């Protein structure tokens, strides 16, 4: 990913112009806040993904957190994650309780799906559990304790089962 001289100049001026506590809204990515002398933190994460990026050469300053972190590194800035709020495609706040980070459940229908409560991160996709329905098999595979939560889906087991079933046929 090539960072242009114009992006470096632009970021240098913007970031140095932000007061501590000042916020920078990056469309399709989130809200960054200047939290130190040379530190920017991603505080609010948007779920939108830029659809105008067709290949690595089309990337720009505004497309990914990793790109901004790489740019920051060139400027001597630290661009970090301190996500306080994350949103879905509809703009609703994700229901990811911090006190449950790390908890996991396996679909009771034994389809191979595992869901985990994880901290939000850029490019990580979360699925909301509704009516206990498993996002893989569609059956009621999760208890009420998981109702309404946004979870990270690990469907590796389900994909292995599917692969094994197609090989047997």
**Can you give the residue ranges of every domain in the chain?**
5-86, 98-168
Three-state DSSP state, 30: strand
97 neighbors 56 (Cβ within 8 angstroms): no
pTM above 0.85, yes or no: no
pLDDT tens-digit series, residues 18-32: 999 999 999 888 999
Mean confidence (pLDDT) of the chain:
89
Please report where in the chains the tokens 């990793």 appear, as a residue.
66
Three-state DSSP state, 40: strand
Lowest mean pLDDT among 21-25, 54-58, 160-164: 54-58
pLDDT tens-digit series, residues 101-142: 999 999 999 999 999 999 999 888 899 999 999 999 999 999
Angle at 123 between CA 81 and CA 74, to 5 degrees: 50
A 10 A CB-CB count for 76 gives: 8
Rg value, the chain, Cα: 20
């Amino acid at each position: 990913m090539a960072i242009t001289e114009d992006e470096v100049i632009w970021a240098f001026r913007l970031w140095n112009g932000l007061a501590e506590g000042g916020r920078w809204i990056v469309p399709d990515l989130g809200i960054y806040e200047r939290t130190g002398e040379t530190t920017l933190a991603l505080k609010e994460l948007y779920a939108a993904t830029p659809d105008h990026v067709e290949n690595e050469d089309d990337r720009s300053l505004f497309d990914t957190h990793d790109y901004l972190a790489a740019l920051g590194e060139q400027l001597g800035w630290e661009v970090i994650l301190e996500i306080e709020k994350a949103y879905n495609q509809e703009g609703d706040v994700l229901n990811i309780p911090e006190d449950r980070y790390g908890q996991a459940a396996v679909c009771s229908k034994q389809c191979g799906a595992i869901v985990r409560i994880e901290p939000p991160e850029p490019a990580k996709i979360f699925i909301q559990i509704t009516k206990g329905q498993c996002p893989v098999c569609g059956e009621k595979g999760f208890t009420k304790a998981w109702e309404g939560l946004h979870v990270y889906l690990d469907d590796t087991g389900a994909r292995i089962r599917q692969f094994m079933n197609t090989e047997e046929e």
